[in-house]
């Protein structure tokens, strides 16, 4: 039950800027691997799905506030039920009961999650919210049958060492995230990422039952590609540039920007693979890159800005104050209108799908 020193959930509530209404990019990825997830569960889940099991427990780690999490857990339940029907010779007097644990940081907007979830009459599971950092154990040992997480493991449990220290070679200058332009910064982020992936996998190894599955979906870089060559890197750097413009106008300060770091790291595919392979509690059943449906479509500025605002506004508010948000994203919009991202010139990031099985 570790503590989490800093925690910046997605934008809460249900308004135009909320994650609830600006998570279709993540949804597209989840949808695109829906059939793969289903097949994996049917083929690889290795549990007796008879009445002895009683309760089948699913956890979504870093669920945010929906709606993607509801979609994911329903697909998992459908696949488990299908598999149960297949093995019907195991006489089952009582149907399985499903319990779903929605995990996220304690300051995640669970109120919105609970109010927007499907009504109990349409839900075939018992719902529970689990507040806590997934870098530590948040559920009891040997109680989870399928774990899932999507677009979460790039979030670090803390700001990497020295990246906000002006006197360190690992200082990230006025960049607000590791864009791989400074080697020492990349190293520092990587150290933190390595530590956090270890904590994440160790915690899941405690929670997931032998034979149970852990599905990890997310985004990383192709080998050899720095973040600054992808549109995501360009966009985050643009946000940083706009903050610098605001500093020049006296709306914030360079000092403040020098101390600001988004604790998110996108590893290269082989780096991620190495971290996963280090863990001895799971077998890697699948680890592959998948096609993101929006990969070859130039995204509109409005779409990009809404998505990044929903993801980053909590952390930006925390550091720079509530007032900067509207001004900042207005400036980002103007800058992108003037200098649109050239998607043809960008390197594409990788959407990965990993299926782990608890030994």
Q: Which positions touch a copy of itself (CB under 8 A)?
A: 1-3, 54-55, 94, 97, 99, 101, 106-107, 109-111, 114-115, 117, 119-121, 123, 126-132, 136-143
The pair of three-digit structure tokens given for residue 320, joined into one six-digit string: 């720079």
**Cα 110 to Cα 138: distance, rounded to the nearest angstrom:** 16
Q: For a copy of itself, give the closer residue by CB, 139 or 225.
A: 139
CB closer to a copy of itself, 137 vs 172: 137
Residues 247, 250, 252, 253, CA torsion sign = positive
Sign of the alpha-carbon dihedral angle for 221, 226, 227, 228: negative
Closer to a copy of itself by CB, 173 or 317: give it: 317
Q: Which of 74, 77, 218, 73 is nearest to 150 (CA)?
A: 218
The CA distance from 66 to 60, in Å, is: 11
Q: How far is the CB of 204 from a copy of itself (least distance, A)?
A: 14
User: Smallest distance from the beta carbon of 123 to a copy of itself, in angstroms?
Assistant: 6
Shortest separation between residue 83's beta carbon and a copy of itself, angstroms? 19
- Point out which residues pair with 104 in neighbouring strands: 131
Q: CB nearer to a copy of itself: give 110 or 200.
A: 110
Alpha helices in the chain (DSSP H): 24-32, 34-44, 68-86, 110-116, 183-207, 231-248, 254-258, 269-278, 301-320, 324-338
Least distance to a copy of itself, CB of residue 106, Å = 5
Distance CA 57, CA 143 (A): 7
Q: Which is nearer to a copy of itself, 72 or 139 (CB)?
A: 139
In the complex, least distance from residue 324 CB atom to a copy of itself, rounded to whole angstroms: 24
Is the Cβ of residue 58 or residue 225 nearer to a copy of itself in the bound state? 58
Least Cβ distance, residue 146 to a copy of itself (angstroms):
15
Give min distance, CB of 67 to a copy of itself, in A.
16
**Contact between 331 and 253 (Cβ < 8 Å):** no
Structure tokens at 13: 């509530």
Residue 335's nearest CA partner among 255, 270, 267, 238 is: 238
Tokens of 122: 């349409």
Return the residue matching tokens 């339940």. 77
In the complex with a copy of itself, the residue whose CB is nearer, 169 or 210, is 210
In the bound state with a copy of itself, the residue whose beta carbon lies nearer, of 137 and 180, is 137
Minimum CB distance to a copy of itself, residue 120 (Å): 4
- H helix or E strand, kind and range, residue 340: none
Q: Give, as one character, the DSSP assignment of residue 263.
A: -
């Amino acid at each position: 039950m570790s503590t989490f020193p800093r925690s910046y959930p997605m934008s809460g509530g249900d308004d135009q800027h909320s994650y609830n209404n600006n998570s279709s990019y993540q949804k597209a990825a989840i949808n695109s691997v829906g059939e793969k997830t289903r097949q994996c569960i049917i083929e690889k889940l290795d549990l007796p799905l008879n009445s002895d099991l009683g309760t089948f427990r699913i956890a979504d780690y870093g669920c945010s506030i929906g709606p993607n999490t509801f979609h994911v857990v329903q697909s998992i339940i459908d696949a488990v039920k299908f598999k149960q029907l297949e093995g019907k010779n195991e006489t089952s007097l009582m149907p399985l009961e499903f319990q779903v644990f929605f995990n996220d940081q304690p300051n995640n907007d669970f109120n919105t999650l609970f109010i927007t979830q499907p009504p109990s009459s349409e839900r075939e599971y018992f719902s529970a919210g689990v507040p806590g950092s997934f870098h530590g154990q948040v559920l009891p040992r040997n109680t989870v049958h399928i774990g899932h997480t999507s677009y979460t493991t790039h979030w670090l449990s803390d700001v990497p060492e020295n990246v906000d220290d002006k006197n360190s070679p690992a200082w990230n200058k006025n960049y607000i995230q590791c864009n791989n332009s400074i080697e020492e910064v990349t190293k520092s982020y990587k150290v933190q990422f390595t530590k956090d992936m270890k904590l994440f996998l160790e915690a899941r190894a405690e929670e997931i039952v032998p034979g149970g599955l852990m599905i990890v979906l997310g985004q990383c870089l192709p080998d050899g590609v720095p973040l600054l060559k992808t549109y995501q890197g360009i966009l985050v750097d643009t946000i940083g540039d706009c903050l610098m413009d605001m500093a020049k106008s006296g709306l914030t300060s360079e000092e403040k920007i020098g101390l600001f770091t988004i604790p998110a790291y996108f590893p290269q595919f082989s780096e991620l693979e190495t971290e996963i392979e280090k863990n001895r509690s799971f077998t890697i059943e699948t680890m592959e890159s998948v096609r993101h449906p929006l990969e070859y479509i130039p995204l509109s500025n409005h779409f990009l800005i809404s998505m990044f605002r929903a993801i980053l506004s909590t952390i930006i508010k925390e550091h720079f104050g509530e007032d900067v948000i509207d001004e900042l994203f207005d400036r980002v919009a103007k800058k992108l209108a003037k200098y649109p991202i050239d998607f043809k010139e960008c390197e594409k990031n990788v959407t990965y799908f990993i299926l782990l099985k608890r030994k």
